[in-house]
Amino acid sequence: MRRLAGVSLCALMVTVCSLSVPVSDRARVRAAPVAEPDDGCGPDSGARTSHPGPHPRDHAHLGHEEVVAMLADLRRTLADRYGTSDERRLDSTLRRAGRLVVPVRFHVIHNGRRGWLSNKDVRRQISTLNAAYGGAKGGVDTHVRFRLASHGHTDSAAWFYSPRLYENSMKRRLRKGGRNTLNVYTAAVGTDVLGFSTFPQWYRRKPHMDGVVIDYRSLPGGSFRHYDRGYTAVHEIGHWLGLFHTFENGCRTPGDGIADTPYEARPAEGCPYSRDTCRQRGRDPIHNFMDYAHDSCMREFTAGQGRRIRAAWAAYRAPRRGARSVDLGTGPAAGALSVGAPR
């Protein structure tokens, strides 16, 4: 796929469709599929990649020291805002406050008809997010839901074919809302990398870069075989909400920092029947949305991941309302309210 850089930003055509009603219901760095006769379910050695070798580094690929520092920052921020960094203790309060409903600004980057997504395509992706984060696929309910606030189309060959290269200018032009608004961008991310994301810890440093970019072919019903159920967005938004990969740090402490996702030496590929790559207790979480398996193999978040999401939200994305007093952006226990009105 060639890069078309010679496009004037002044010539961008932008249309935005604002939505006044809620709708129902990965940076996932993974090898994109190539044509193959089997169904991809079997030993992980059977996974195909379009570029043999290790997965490329991306925003979500962090070093050990980076992960340790980010976990320490989460603890410090929670202690400062709540007087405790104990996620279990804090979670009882967060769950009583109600369900988080995240407003989504969906930006479709395209080159003419290539990459164009309809309103139906976008809504199907939102439905997939709500099903995955609501536990409808087999995991726990994280108590997070997503509401489409708006979607728009931007015709730019440069941004479409090279979203990583033009990430800064693209996001500066299109991003809307504050720290609690999820901005999703679709483009031709590539064949070796399907998406990339920022983490909540990074918002205060570069707020305009906050958001998630995914390949348009990974949406539900897309053309990427094995990666066509919309779980790239589920995975990437997991990073945006504060989750690391399940294989983070391999078998080395602290792993991904979550107790109920067993240590995993390397990413799952394809759809392995079962795997245990570390000496620590527990088999590899190959069905977890924060691993790298085929979409057909993914189905769950854990209770610990749900707690981490809610803690990270309280620490980084919930607006302050005074010292150690936080508006969690939730509704009362009897119902769910939006964390932010459309902006």
Taking only the tens place, the pLDDT of each residue in 272-327 is 988 999 999 999 999 999 999 999 999 999 999 999 999 999 999 997 754 344 44
CATH number for the region 13-318 comes to 3.40.390.10
Compute the distance between CA of residue 212 and CA of residue 240 in angstroms, rounded to an integer: 7
Q: What pLDDT does residue 33 have?
A: 39
Q: What is the mean pLDDT of residues 63-82?
A: 95
Q: What is the mean pLDDT of residues 232-238?
A: 97
Give the start-to-end residue ranges of the domains of the chain. 13-318
Q: What pLDDT does residue 91 have?
A: 87
Q: Given 87, 236, 264, 269, which residue is catalytic?
A: 236
- Treating both helix axes as pointing N-terminal to C-terminal, what angle do 87-97 and 303-312 enclose, rounded to 10 degrees? 80
Do residues 177 and 183 touch, judged by C-beta distance below 8 A? Answer: yes
pLDDT for residue 118 is more than 50: yes
Compute the distance between CA of residue 273 and CA of residue 54 in angstroms, rounded to an integer: 22
Q: What pLDDT does residue 22 have?
A: 32
With cut-offs at 50, 70 and 90, classify the pLDDT of residue 193: confident
> Which residues in 3-99 belong to E strands, given as ranges?
13-18
In the residue annotation, 236 being an active-site residue is answered as yes
Compute the distance between CA of residue 72 and CA of residue 68 in angstroms, rounded to an integer: 6
Q: What pLDDT does residue 92 have?
A: 80
Torsion angle of C-alpha atoms 236, 237, 238, 240, degrees rounded to 10? 100
Q: Which residues contact 268 (CB under 8 A, 6 or more apart)?
A: 44, 247, 275, 284, 286, 291, 292, 293, 297
pLDDT for residue 145 is more than 70: yes
Residue 216's closest CA among 342, 101, 124? 124
Question: Can you read off the two tokens belonging to residue 137?
Answer: 């696929």
> Is residue 73 within a helix (H) or strand (E), and if so which, with residue range?
helix 64-82
Q: What pLDDT does residue 321 have?
A: 59
